[in-house]
Structure 1
Amino acid sequence: MIYDLIIIGGGAAGLFAGASLPQKINGLIIEKSASPGKKLLMSGSGQCNLTHCGSIKDFLSHYGNQGKSIRSVLYQFNNDALISFFNQRGLPTIAREDGKIFPKSMKAQKVLDCLTSLCKENGLSLITSSNVIALEQDEKSNRYSVICKDQTYRSKKIIVATGGCSYPTTGSDGSFFSVLTKLGICINPLRPALAPIYVEGYPYAELSGTSFDTVKLQIRSKEGKKIAERSDSLLFTHKNLSGPVILNSSRFAVSGSYLQIQYVPSLSKEELFGLLREKHDGNQKQLLSVLQELLPLPKRFLEVICKRLSLSANQKFSQTAGSDIKRLADLLTNDTYRISRLEEFNKSMATSGGISLSEVHLKTMESKRFPHLYFAGEILDVDGDTGGYNLQFAFSSAYVAAQQI
């Protein structure tokens, strides 16, 4: 049998490609895992953050350096179109105050059920626990052979949606990149994205679970050049730094570069020093009490800050030397660390790197060198911020590819 379409990968992008086909076809989805959509079920802590509110123009800045390149993909099937797609198919959505869009049920399983049902309606059969080990093109007919361990399938058209390397236990383990490399397709270096960051001399293990609503963060090169700057929430874990401000900046973090945190983003070092100096003379309150009154920061964190500077949190503020006040102001506005590494793929939400966008016609998602071979989702060198941006790209690229079938 020669299929009209084979989709390699039964994750978010692969299933959405099948669900959004313009007409019923004779097709096949080949999934490596025992069941489809495992990573989709994990998204949004099981609630499935589908996309984000706002103008699609504002999405472009949430994909790092690749945002402008994928404009045509996102514009062809934007966040409003995605919301309408699900609403019209019996899956209503809701918007949270933070702009994140979820299914009204707040259950990722409902999204998976919807997509698998639509794939079936569109004529696609699903094969699970089947690992594709090779992909071959018949140049005369432009048809493809999809070679699995125990079976070979033939198809007129192929959509590759095998994902990246993050959460490999879901089947998204990056093994298909070697298949593409054998075809000569350029794969940009793979590294974790949306990942916690490890720093040298991490001092906040005892504050694991402590979070800040907003801090200002900068990533600087080894030479001190500013690479990225962002304001968002921060989380201390037992071993590393996390939270949206870290995860969304991790694409710019490399070993040996520097991370700088400003815990009170509304105040510069000089402004904070001046504020503390105003309260200094004759102040009989404890150092910790003064810091708590002036700064919207957790008490335990301020105690650790004092400890790091070898200051007693209980000493009278009037007895705190001016040089120590300067050190406090500097640490709270310029806490700088050398980055040692990112978290591994098994604890990273996305993958940076993948198929170079120069390999793809971004208006159709078709390979520039292999006719009727299409790509969608995280297998491409695109990684977005937290908040639904990665799923939006997966859905948008899958939709664009599906319209070519």
Structure 2
Amino acid sequence: MGGGPSGLMAAMIASWNGAEVRIVERKGKLGKKLLAATNGRGNFSNLELNETHYFTSDISFVKKVLERFGIFQTLSVFEEIGVLVKNSDSKLFPYTERSKDIWTCFMHELENNNVEIVLNYQINDITYSKENKIFYLKSDYTTFESEKIIVATGGMSSPQFGSNGSIFQSLCTLGHSLIGLRPGLVPLKINDDYLSKDNLGAKLIGTVVLENAQGIEISKKYFGEVLFKNETITGIPIIQISNFVHRYLDKKIPVYIHIDPFPTYTQTQLEEILLKKINLRPKKPIYLLFTSMIDEKLIPPFLNSIGIEDFLMSSEALELRDIELIANRLKYWKFEVIDCC
């Protein structure tokens, strides 16, 4: 059940082991989430894959699973189906950075191993006959029978790709338990008065870390592109760091995102850069002071956030204390996280 990345992998390996396999997918296309992975680049795994990255009350279970099928086994499978892998800061991509190339290799394997594919079928209920030792998967149109089922329908974070949690109640009826659902790898909603629809698509590239109200780092530090979309931020480092957020939001503990677009520069060095720019062109409008330093869409809200409303004022009007404040804020973009999207 489910034709996303997990379902495709499970179906493929089951067919390799001689099983007669059928994939039942509620959407009209297999692998929609795979095709959308990392904006179509296809980040399929990570060299740092281990049990610490999973939310569970039984970490030993996750550890046992990964000991049986961890990163080395995953890479072996991708090599076998013909995917040349690229490592980018421990993140694994197809060499072309095209999700569709992984999808193509999966589709070939499924066809080559006679896996039946059923699209646009929503399974509404699952029952089990102890007498016949058969599962019955019921939809609005028909009932499928199977000796075994692998449920690979995801959580509830991507209903547009098919993951909507509609089968959870049926699984509970079969005797499974369901822990409270929490957003995992998702964009984050931030509290900031200066960001608006005009910032849609703006980006910063730098390090990202989660901090508490005292400014103490409480997560791993990640590097990459941060995209601003109205009141939300996304991008690979945000998606990675979102795993830590719910632990604090659930307990109503304030938590903040710190973005540093200049990790290789100190605040003092940024002050020197700004002073040099001002000395070279003292009459230049202040908003042009930041051209080539930050995304132009972020310049107006950045200036507003430090109390500057006249974007056309001459750069020479800035005092030393202003420059110190600007340099500090350039290195320390801080937003309160108020929700996971």
TM range (shorter): 0.7 to 0.9
Contact kept? 1:202, 1:240, Cα under 8 Å:
no
Identity %: 20
Alignment of 1:2-151 (within 5 A): 8-21=1-14, 22-52=16-46, 54=47, 58-60=48-50, 63=53, 65=55, 70-89=62-81, 91-95=82-86, 97-104=88-95, 107-122=98-113, 124-139=115-130, 142-151=133-142
Secondary structure (helix, strand or coil) at the match of 1:146 reads strand
Higher relative contact order, structure no. (Cα contacts within 8 Å, ≥ 6 residues apart): 1
Match of 1:166 in 2: 157
In 2, Cα distance between equivalents of 1:224 and 1:317: 33
Q: TM-score w.r.t. structure 2 length?
A: 0.75
**CA 1:172 to 1:262, structure 2 compared with 1: closer, same or farther past 3 Å?**
closer
Alignment of 1:206-355 (within 5 A): 206-220=198-212, 227-233=218-224, 234-254=226-246, 257-263=254-260, 266=263, 272=267, 276=271, 286=282, 297-298=294-295, 301=298, 304-311=301-308, 314-315=313-314, 320=319, 322=321, 324=322, 327-328=325-326, 331-343=329-341
- For the pair 1:176 / 2:167, whether they are aligned, the reply is yes
How far apart are residue 253 of structure 1 and its match? 2.9
In 2, Cα distance between equivalents of 1:183 and 1:266: 52
How far apart are residue 160 of structure 1 and its match? 1.0
Which deviates further from its counterpart, 174-183 or 206-215? 206-215
Q: TM-score w.r.t. structure 1 length?
A: 0.64
- Give the letter aligned to residue 36 of structure 1: L
Secondary structure (helix, strand or coil) at the match of 1:95 reads strand
More strand by share: 1
Unmatched runs of 5 consecutive residues or more in structure 2? none
In 2, Cα distance between equivalents of 1:189 and 1:12: 23
Contact kept? 2:135, 2:145, Cα under 8 Å:
yes
**CA 1:264 to 1:69, structure 2 compared with 1: closer, same or farther past 3 Å?**
farther
Deviation track 1:205-255 (CA, whole Å, cap 9, x = no partner) reads: 34443323213332437x987543423232223442222222222233355
- Give the letter aligned to residue 320 of structure 1: E
**CA 1:279 to 1:191, structure 2 compared with 1: closer, same or farther past 3 Å?**
closer
RMSD between superposed Cα atoms in Å? 4.0
Aligned length: 325
How far apart are residue 126 of structure 1 and its match? 2.5
Unmatched runs of 5 consecutive residues or more in structure 1? 1-7, 344-405
